[in-house]
Amino acid sequence: MGCNVVIGTQWGDEGKAKMIDYYSREADIIVRYQGGANAGHTVVVNGVKHVFHLIPSGILHPGKKCVIGNGVVIDPVQLSEEMDFLIKEGHDVAGSLIISDAAHLILPYHKAMDEAMEDSRSDKIGTTKRGIGPAYSDKCARVGIRVGDLYDDAYLTERLTAAVAMKNQQMEKVYEKPSFQIEDIRDILTTFRSRVRDMVCNTPFYLNNALSEGKKVLLEGAQGNLLDIDHGTYPFVTSSNPSIGGALMGTGLNWSHINSVTGIAKAYVTRVGEGPFPTEDKTEGGTILRDRGGEYGATTGRPRRCGWFDAELLRHAKRINGLTSIALTKLDVLSGFDRIKVAVGYKLDGRKIDYFPSALHHRLKPIYEEREGWKEDITGCRNFNELPENARKYVEYLEEIMDLKVSIISVGPDRNNTFTK
């Protein structure tokens, strides 16, 4: 049946988890394809809030298979905590969760190095300090430890001994921080190995077979297109590829399996941490967006920076990912504004450009148009025609300037506050 890919089109926090939860109703398998515990995917069901950092958001639907793909970096402690929470709530984790044997592991020294590196920088990146960057660095340097390595004691000992010796040198001599004991790390891995043994497999083989049997597969990205290490606002990016290329590399699937690519976008824009943000509103408007939208990081609790919808960012995401439609979230947060600003393009050093550049982001000046707002509370709307006229016009205007259909609209945090257009 093929795959639907769900990708964040902005700087993350677009509401991907809610949309994954929505699309999971029709999927057989949900796959997380990149990132790590720096993600905070939030799903609200009947007023109960669930935050997932590693486990795919479709886990709340009984009978679904949820896969952590080879492109994810896994913190064994964090994953165990998520599993415990779900089991306590009555979910069948053992029968639902599948873990790639090729996924790399985040170990204590990765988190310590992440913090030490950030603290030593004069130009802060705004990392979550969850060890994501150092784990991906080890993967590229070919010194990482993978889930499958846990099941060969001699090989694991060899890899772990070399890794800990190298990391201790760095921690002591470069950052003047305490060293790590191999026994402590081995204890973490031994406990994790026993717990997930029956969940581990070759996930590219599993997924390709499932597709050949006609299964419907949903691919879930973390972060967003503007945090992609190749296509985002470098260096203020994550250490992986949330874009469509990461979806393929992080699952072992190929382009012929992709049926559709849904981009998730807020009706405005947010960013957590440092980095350029052309449409950021540092006035009362941005504060209102933050307060109404509850814009605080699910992973770090940091207040998000808020601003106005940026159509050029969406066109950039459309080009990179081949988006087939948009799911528009948090439309309800705009209720109450008399006028709503939308960036339709940029000027770079006074000259209008019609693309999102790879650099010089701090010199971009947005070109705004304004739309009439609406006063009505729209959280009770359950179809497009129930929206106020100006809310409908706003959505249709975004479709026009993006040249992309809005397929899904969210008007509140709960699962039920979502409808098709």
Degrees, nearest 5: CA angle 418-289-386: 35
Distances (CA, A) of 70 to 35, 73, 141, 253: 10, 8, 16, 11
Contact (CB, 8 A) for 253 and 263: no
What's the 3-state SS for the chain? CEEEEEEECCCCCCCHHHHHHHHHHHCCEEEECCECCCCCEEEEECCEEEEECCCCHHHHCCCCEEEECCCEEECHHHHHHHHHHHHHCCCCHHHHEEEECCCEECCHHHHHHHHHHHHHCCCCCCCCCCCHHHHHHHHHHCCCCEHHHHHCHHHHHHHHHHHHHHHHHHHHHHCCCCCCCHHHHHHHHHHHHHHHHHHEECHHHHHHHHHHCCCEEEEECCCCHHHCCCCCCCCCCCCCCCCHHHHHHCCCCCHHHEEEEEEEEECCEEECCCCCCCCECCCHHHHHHHHHHCCECCCCCCECEEECEEHHHHHHHHHHHCCCEEEEECHHHHCCCCEEEEEEEEEECCEEECCCCCCCHHHEEEEEEEEECCCCCCCCCCCHHHCCHHHHHHHHHHHHHHCCCEEEEECCCECCCEEEC
Q: Active-site residue 13, yes or no?
A: yes
Spatial distance between the Cα atoms of 396 and 326, rounded to a whole number of angstroms:
12
Peptide bond into 388 cis (omega under 30): no
One-letter identity of residue 51:
V
Question: Exactly one of 28, 41, 110, 257 is catalytic; which is it?
Answer: 41
- Based on its alpha-carbon atoms, the radius of gyration of the chain, rounded to whole angstroms, reads 22
Residue positions annotated with a catalytic role:
13, 41
